[in-house]
Structure 1
Amino acid sequence: MTRKILYAILIGTVLFSCGIKKMSNDEIAQTTEILVAKNKANKTLKKETTEGALTDKDGYNDIGKFKYSVYYDETSKALYRIENIEMTDVTLTETYYFKDNDLYFIETLESSAAEKAIYTKGFELLMKKNASDAETKLLINKAKRFKTAFKK
């Protein structure tokens, strides 16, 4: 009986001492870079593109153009990447990266601003670079809408 108790204490100690290690920001960025490179290198993905006009808030006047591309595995229907390009007086490129249908990274490039990077686990923010809280929230919500639209 005491032997079982000692084993239980030993196993409990090992489990609690090992615990879950939190990744540093550098480790998150490095892991994400590898995933993004693999995602971009995957030439077997099906690409569907939609292009159209951007209108003002009232929907009457054209203010620019957009190009929206979805990359996914045709067999499994797994979502890999969404590129959203909006062209007005400036060009804004947003790229949303997915693994196992879960968002893990958003990058935005704007002709007049620094690159923004948002690292996520699903829709939960892990860290961000050059993005305000409001921008981060907006982009994560856009990712949710884009993913929902893809599933339909």
Structure 2
Amino acid sequence: MKYMTGVAAGMACLEGDGVIHRNLRCANLLISEDDTCKISDYGMGTKEDIKKGIRFPIKWTAPEAYAQQIFTSKSDVWSFGVVIYEVFSYGKEPYEGMDPREVFTNVFQEGERLSPPGECRSPWSSIMPQCFHLNPEKRPNFQTIKTQTHGGSE
């Protein structure tokens, strides 16, 4: 759980600085020698809009980012929900067995969402579904997630 609180705190910091990561997933998290979780791979992270045509991992990508290439910190929140799934399923691939077209149809058009894995406990089990609201404005921001997970302390 401490790794997840670290990711939430790191993403709250990026969000506060106006940086959109655009590629948040477990493959881009590193554990340092002092056993803290670090967010990496800022290749797509920027304060500016990215030109259309960039490739991104659909299984971690919010519907508005995939369909309209609208990236905000709220699209990073969607990805964070997928990270919660990855962590508490012990690295299981999200939407396992689905190709990108199936993910688009099942998730974006039919409303299928990842469910919290059995090992996922509060507060993560209640935060995860909030991350998957179709309307980005209804998703929590990272400061809210940080507060829910460790009182907003540094």
Whether the TM-score (by the shorter chain) exceeds 0.5 is no
- Shorter-chain-normalised TM-score: which range? under 0.3
Q: Identify the structure with bigger relative contact order (alpha carbons < 8 Å, sequence gap 6+).
A: 2
Q: Which has the higher helix share?
A: 2
Structure 1-normalised TM-score?
0.27
Structure 2-normalised TM-score?
0.27
Q: Which has the higher strand share?
A: 1
